[in-house]
Amino acid sequence: MNHDHDRASTAGRRTFLSRLLTAGATLGLAAPRSVDAMERAVSPASPSSSAAGDDPWIARLTGKHRVVFHSHLASDGIALRWAQTYLDTQKSAYGLTDADSSVVVGLNGRAIGLLFNDVIWGKYPIGETLQMPGSRNANAALVAQLVARGVIILACNNSLRAAGQRFLPEAQRGDAALRTAFSDEARANLLPGVEVVPAMIVTLQQAQDRGCRYIYGGG
């Protein structure tokens, strides 16, 4: 790291702000703030800062290294597997612990079917819809492992509300009452540790605002 360059850059910025303050006073403008106050005003917010209205998961972004894996397609669970690979590689190749990284997996669209438990998989054609044949969620164990390692796994509420149009048998998808019932049932049968967020499109923006690098994990 070039500390001389950093010190020169900081000194230059302070000189510029000092001149700006002096000019403002000379012109009879409103009482100027200090150089330090102006620097705070023009500096971007810290990636780890949070506001009172933030979703609960944001407070868990405490790692130095931050990444969000997102998908709206199941793609055999690649977003989940990449999260596992990321943590494993950080540990084996770089000597980091899981706590050194904040990893988020955000799923919406059809991909939320990866977060349903075996009750839903056995009752509805989830596997058929996701092109992952079977009456059991083959990714359930992986989700449990990731949650235990501190991975934040998020499901989109908008996608849950629309899930009946994707996962109900085709003949039932036109019935609004059945779609609502399916949405409620699916929400009640999410895998342990999965959190629901209002809209994934907003969640992805929030994650990136707080320093998470975005990686798309889908086909």
Q: Is residue 91 part of a domain?
A: yes
What percentage of the chain exceeds 70 in pLDDT?
A: 76
Helix ranges, the chain (H): 3-26, 35-42, 78-94, 118-123, 126-129, 140-148, 157-161, 164-167, 176-188, 200-209
Average pLDDT value for the chain: 84
- The pLDDT value recorded for residue 54 is 85
CB count within 10 Å of CB 20 equals: 13
Per the structure, the count of domains in the chain is: 2
Each residue's pLDDT tens digit, 112-127: 999 999 999 999 999 9
pLDDT band at 68 (very low <50, low <70, confident <90, very high): very high
Q: Is residue 51 part of a domain?
A: no
Main-chain phi, psi angles of 136, to 5 degrees = -130, 150
Do 22 and 130 fall into the same domain?
no
Q: Which residue has the higher pLDDT, 4 or 143?
A: 143
Q: Among positive and negative, which fits the CA dihedral 118, 122, 128, 133?
A: positive
- The pLDDT value recorded for residue 51 is 61
**Cα(115)–Cα(187) distance, rounded to whole angstroms?**
10
Q: Is residue 50 part of a domain?
A: no
CB count within 10 Å of CB 177 equals: 9
Inter-residue contact 183 to 142 (CB < 8 Å): no
CATH number assigned to the domain comprising residue 86: 3.40.1260.10
Do 170 and 198 fall into the same domain?
yes
Do 35 and 60 fall into the same domain?
no
pTM of the model: 0.78
Structural domain range at position 154: 56-216
Do 89 and 195 fall into the same domain?
yes
Do 122 and 24 fall into the same domain?
no
- Written as six digits, the tokens of 3 are 């500390």
pLDDT band at 107 (very low <50, low <70, confident <90, very high): very high
- The pLDDT value recorded for residue 44 is 37
Quote the distance between the C-alpha of residue 86 and its chain's center.
15
Do 29 and 62 fall into the same domain?
no
Do 115 and 8 fall into the same domain?
no
Q: Which residues are paired to 190 by β-bridges?
A: 116
Do 152 and 112 fall into the same domain?
yes
Do 99 and 130 fall into the same domain?
yes
CB count within 10 Å of CB 48 equals: 15
What percentage of the chain exceeds 90 in pLDDT?
A: 74
- Amino acid letter for position 184: D
